[in-house]
Structure 1
Amino acid sequence: MSYRYQRRYCGPLQAVILDWAGTVVDFGSFAPTQVLIDAFAGFDIEVTMEEARVPMGLAKWDHIQALGRLPTVAARWQARFGRAMQTEDVDALYARFMPLQLERVGQYSALIPGALECIAQLRSRGLKVGTCSGYPRQVMDRLLPIAAAAGYQPDCTVAADDLPAGGRPGPWMALENVVRLGISDVAACVKVDDTVPGIAEGLAAGMWTVGLSASGNEVGLTHAQWQALSEGERKARRLPAAEKLYQAGAHYVIDSIAELPTVIERIEERLAAGERP
């Protein structure tokens, strides 16, 4: 007779792992999208904001490659250059993208309303705050002091090119946070993100996942634009964004990080009851 030992983590949450643009800073996630549009424009290729948002959440080299493979963008590239986009073209676009992103990331990096209050509540519960991003390390090194000056200093930050395994939708950046923060079980972590690859990352790492609809890439409005909408207009924008994140596997979807503390309480109740992500 054989026995299988099954252990379920029933302790408290230990960490929240947050994305950056569209999650804690840059309501509407404009820094990466607008710069990508401008990088392609440097090659005489028009890319719309809607197209630029499709692969959001991937590491930026991968994002450029995926954007170039969209049928509409691929057709424009073929018409302009007489061939499909090649790896060396992605390299050239990335080389154009990087200095623009470094120059402009600060312009779009205001903290999302309620972020600091949320972080304070998380810390008061004893939670560690980890982060990861589709941004490369060069951009994160520019963004971190800007965020610190605004009062946001996470315990850990992993950039898309920090790890040899790569970035999203794989679990590696989220798991690197687990290692660096000294977390005892992945079920004690909550991954918070506004993109489908970011939700996939959290699920692949075995974590609880929370999607952000209004503040992130899926709605794609500035905070002022969001506030100016009627409640009916917000609902019309929110529902398809939330559905997309739920379809990706998010355990919860909320408008913005400001609502996260309430969800944290619910997840801890589920953990105490023996549930796992």
Structure 2
Amino acid sequence: MSLDIRLVVLDMAGTTVADDGLVEQAFQAAAGRLGVEAGSPEHARMLEHVRATMGESKISVFRHLFGEEEKAQTANAAFEAAYHDLVDAGHCAALPGAAEAIAELRGRGRKVVLTTGFSRSTQDRILTALGWESIADLTLCPAEAGRGRPYPDLALTALLRTSTESVRQIAVAGDTGYDMLTGTRAGAAVVAGVLTGAHGEERLRADGATHVLASVAELPALLAG
């Protein structure tokens, strides 16, 4: 059966943007702000949760880890400040072929929406650092879509905002199991996992990947088939 994909929803960190451990470095700063000592059993437990939930809204992760809303907000603010410092220091780069893939998808008449688990301020910091302010038709963060991953809200908000007619015209691509869950729960026809980020093929397929690609650079060819 041929695909009629009109909307491509792409994750950022780990999918189109290199992570290179930035999330974990920023988490270290957030944990330290709350008095969690690096190398302690508590720190190790928290870091394991951060890795398992890559792709989820960061404030949701901190709410799970710290329980109290005040502590979660403090941790999230420390995380964002640390991440912004890393981006400002030049530790932010597009993954090879990502910009070209986005341009090719849009050149074929498809809408492209970039999504993230970060806040709008962090998302904008990354877009500005890469010169990507106009690279996509739309960019979305969890606060603009109701709920973040693994819920379908980001993909469905992208559908609504781009006036796409059907969920079967959506392709979702990401590097985490939570991206795959977002795509499957939204009813996307293509849910593509990429191996440039947090999770491996086993996790991606377990969470619903219809395809697993070496990188997002392979996505235009997949959708052209």
Does the TM-score normalized on the shorter chain lie above 0.5?
yes
Aligned residue number for residue 122 of structure 2: 139
- C-alpha root-mean-square deviation of aligned residues, in Å? 2.2
Which residue of 54, 57, 65 corresponds with 1:56?
Answer: 54
Amino acid in the other structure paired with 2:17: V
Distance 2:78 2:19 in 1: 24
Q: After superposition, give the CA deviation of every residue in 1:24-67 in whole Å (9 maximum; x if it has no partner).
A: 11154x3322201221023331235655312111111112234x
Aligned residue number for residue 85 of structure 2: 103
Aligned residue number for residue 91 of structure 1: 73
Distance 1:92 1:27 in 2: 23
Amino acid in the other structure paired with 1:13: I
Is the alpha carbon distance of 1:105 and 1:24 closer, same or farther for their aligned partners in structure 2, counting shifts above 3 Å? same
Q: After superposition, give the CA deviation of every residue in 1:198-217 in whole Å (9 maximum; x if it has no partner).
A: 1111111111210112x111
Distance 1:37 1:11 in 2: 43
Amino acid in the other structure paired with 1:23: T
Distance 2:19 2:54 in 1: 14
Distance 1:32 1:152 in 2: 24
Q: After superposition, give the CA deviation of every residue in 1:58-92 in whole Å (9 maximum; x if it has no partner).
A: 111112234x27xxxxxxxxxxxxxxx53332222
Which residue of 143, 167, 172 corresponds with 2:148?
Answer: 167
Amino acid in the other structure paired with 1:59: S
Q: Secondary structure at the residue paired with 2:114? A: strand
Is the alpha carbon distance of 1:242 and 1:10 closer, same or farther for their aligned partners in structure 2, counting shifts above 3 Å? closer
Q: After superposition, give the CA deviation of every residue in 1:136-167 in whole Å (9 maximum; x if it has no partner).
A: 11112222222326x8711101112123x321
1:116 aligns with 2:116: no
The number of residue pairs the alignment matches comes to 216
Alignment of 1:111-260 (within 5 A): 111-148=94-131, 153-163=135-145, 165-207=146-188, 208-213=190-195, 215-218=196-199, 241-260=200-219
Distance 2:61 2:71 in 1: 13
